[in-house]
Structure formats: C-alpha cells, structure tokens
C-alpha cells in the first residue's frame, strides 16, 4: 500500500518493471490503474515532467532492455486507442472512429483498422503518446476539472529474433504489451454530470461493472465459474488475454483518502481482493519457422534417444521418428 507521497518511479519499480522486462523476453503483459474518478489513475499511468508515470517509464525501460540484449534484433510497433461511449477510436489518426473488433487463430482478438507505427527509440514513442493524448476525450465534472471520459489502451508489439541465426533457423518472439488508463467509476450525484457527461458516465460505469463481473467469475473456483462475459464490453474483449489468459498482468488500484469517498474505496478494495485470486497462464510467444521447427524436433528426438537407449522397442519407435523427420525435412 502506497500513500500520496510515493513517486511513480517507485511504484513502477516494485509493481511493473518485472512485467516490462518479461515483455521484452516474449511474454504478453498488461498494466492498468483501477479506481474511482479523480483518485490518481491518469497521473499514475502518464505522470508529469517531474514525476513520469508508468507508461513513459515503461517505454524507456523497453528500449534500454532491448539495447542490453546484444544477441537479438528488435522490431517494435505501437498503437493507441480509446474506448469512448463503447466505441473504439484510433488516437493516432483523426477521424478513425468506431473501429471493429475481430478474432483469428493467428492474431487472437484485435482491432481492425488501427494504425500501427514502427518506432526506433523512446523519444519517438513519447511523441506519439503526446499526439494521442491531444485526441483523447476529456471533460469537466464536479469531481475533476479534466476528467478522462474514455478508457485508453497504449499497445506495444515487441518482436525479436536472434542476431546470428544458425543454419537451421531460429524462433521469432512476439509479445503484446498493453498499458491501460481506465476512466474512473462515477456516482452521478457527486459528479453532477448531465447531458453528454451523463451519457459518458453511464458507459464508463457499465464497462467497469462488466470488468468487475469478469474478475468475479475468474476468481471463483473452476467448477463454479460458468460463462465469463468477456464479450459484454469492448474493454474486456480487447483485454481478454490479460484477464485469466496468456499474459502477465499488474493492476494498480487507486483510492481517494477523503472519508466522503469511503463507499467507492470499499468497492475498489473489493475489486483488488478478487483480482488477487485470478491466475494467468503466461508463456513465451514464439513463431517457429519450418527450419526452426525441424531443429527443435531433432533435438527432442536426440534427447529421447539418450533416455531410452535401454529399451529396444523404444529404439524402434525412435527409428520411425527418424524416418518421419527425414521425410518432413525433404518437403521443407
């Protein structure tokens, strides 16, 4: 638990840095801030010039870590989207709105038509972040003069391959990192929202409620879970792999210290308690070339041969595997 005097850099070092380093190594990762409106989520994620937030710290850390991996070559792509009134907008391209969500075996869940930029350094990424922030929806409420009216997802796709590949080829690692700034849950009597702000608040609250429902289901015993409502909102659909799937996830929960917000704080703590019970199954994401796949199969056959030398029947089976390996190698 941190108080308001703790810097974003310390929070990053304790809660997020290991996730970022893992993303460079090929693991999917997601970090997001959750809490009521005006409790410090956007400041935690974006920060200021004097106290950079999770996102700029992560961006610099990624490029520093990649530079230290002298034996690998990296390709990094970024995109920036917002979910505003349950519609997906591209923050890097004006007028690119209401983008659809699709799913495929190769890519999983993705947003079609989203602009991706290849980047070479942290400064280039921070410029794109600044562009996206300028296009994001903000508005004034009684709780916050610059209230986030949308959820944003800053996504980095990190590809890497061995710099000196062997003749048999090598696997390509591809990881997806989501850095998410959620809009805050709102109580209409406190925010004084009406008209457009009221509509925005209803969409924000609904999507956060569905996120809570997903976390509730995932925190239950496997036999009691039943249907998990990922598809009930754009937010949970896009973050599906980060919620109980193939990703390392860090959730930072923020709370306002004033007694008047005690009910909202209780709700945030209950969300955090349930989220701690969710288990993900993160693994390195590799794309194997045909040559790399054959190389891996050959190594597995050799390993099996060493273990099963005392078994004639097993050796016969390995001979069959050798024949199949040669057959595959011929066609590749």
Q: Which residues are annotated as a binding site for ATP?
A: 35-42
Closest CA to 178 of 230, 229, 122, 251: 251
Q: Tell me phi and psi for residue 84, to 5 degrees.
A: -120, 120
- The residues, any chain, with a CB within 8 Å of residue 324's CB and separated by 6 or more, are none
Place of tokens 């809490």: 35
Q: Characterize 4-23 residue by residue with b for buried, 16 or more Cβ atoms within 10 angstroms of its Cβ, and e for exposed.
A: eeeebeebbeeebbebbebb
> From CA 51, how far away is CA 10, in angstroms rounded?
10
SS3 95: coil
Say how far residue 265 (Cα) sits from the centre of its chain: 25
The pTM of this model reads 0.84
Phi/psi of residue 4, each to 5°?
Answer: -70, -10
Binding residues, by number, are 35-42
Residue-by-residue DSSP string for 103-114: EETTTEEEETT-
Helix axes 17-24, 8-15, angle to 10 degrees: 60
Give the pLDDT of the chain (332 residues) as one tens digit per residue: 999 899 999 999 999 999 999 999 999 999 999 999 889 999 999 999 999 999 999 999 999 999 999 999 999 999 999 999 999 999 999 888 899 999 998 888 999 999 999 999 999 999 999 999 999 988 777 677 787 889 999 999 999 998 876 644 578 899 999 999 999 877 776 777 678 888 888 999 999 999 999 999 999 876 677 899 999 999 999 999 999 999 999 999 999 989 998 999 999 999 999 999 999 999 999 887 655 556 666 677 677 667 666 566 666 666 666 666 666 565 55
Dihedral angle at the C-alpha atoms of 235, 147, 53, 212, nearest 10 degrees?
-30
Phi (first) and psi of residue 28, to 5 degrees: -65, 150
Quick check: helix, strand or coil at residue 285? coil
Distance, CA of 138 to CA of 91 (rounded, Å): 13
Query: CB neighbours of 139 closer than 8 A, spacing ≥ 6?
Result: 147, 149, 196, 197, 200
Count of residues in the chain: 332
CA distance 171 to 279: 27
């Amino acid at each position: 638990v941190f108080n308001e005097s703790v810097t974003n850099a310390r929070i990053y070092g304790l809660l997020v840095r290991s996730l970022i380093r893992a993303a460079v190594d090929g693991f999917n990762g997601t970090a997001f801030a959750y809490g009521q409106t005006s409790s410090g989520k956007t400041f935690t994620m974006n920060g200021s010039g004097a106290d950079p937030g999770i996102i700029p710290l992560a961006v610099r850390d990624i490029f520093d870590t990649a530079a230290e991996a002298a034996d690998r070559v990296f390709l990094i792509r970024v995109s920036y989207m917002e979910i505003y009134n349950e519609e997906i907008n591209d923050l890097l391209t004006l007028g690119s709105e209401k983008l659809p969500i699709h799913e495929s075996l190769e890519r999983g869940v993705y947003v079609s038509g989203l602009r991706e930029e290849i980047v070479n350094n942290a400064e280039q990424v921070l410029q794109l972040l600044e562009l996206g922030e300028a296009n994001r929806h903000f508005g004034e409420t009684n709780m916050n003069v610059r209230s986030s009216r949308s959820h944003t997802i800053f996504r980095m796709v990190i590809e890497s391959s061995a710099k000196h590949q062997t003749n048999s080829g090598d696997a390509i690692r591809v990881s997806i990192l989501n850095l998410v700034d959620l809009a805050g849950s709102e109580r209409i009597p406190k925010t004084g929202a009406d008209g457009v702000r009221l509509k925005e608040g209803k969409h924000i609250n609904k999507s956060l409620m569905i996120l809570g429902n997903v976390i509730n289901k995932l925190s239950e015993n496997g036999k009691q879970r039943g249907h998990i409502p990922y598809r009930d909102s754009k937010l949970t659909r896009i973050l599906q792999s980060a919620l109980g799937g193939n990703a390392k996830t860090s959730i930072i929960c923020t709370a306002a210290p004033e007694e008047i917000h005690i009910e909202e704080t209780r709700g945030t703590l209950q969300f955090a308690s349930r989220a701690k019970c969710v288990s993900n199954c993160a693994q390195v994401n590799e794309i194997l070339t045909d040559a790399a796949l054959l190389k891996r199969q050959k190594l597995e056959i050799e390993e099996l041969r060493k273990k099963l030398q005392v078994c004639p029947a097993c050796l016969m089976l390995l001979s069959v595997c050798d024949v199949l390996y040669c057959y595959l190698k011929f066609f590749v």
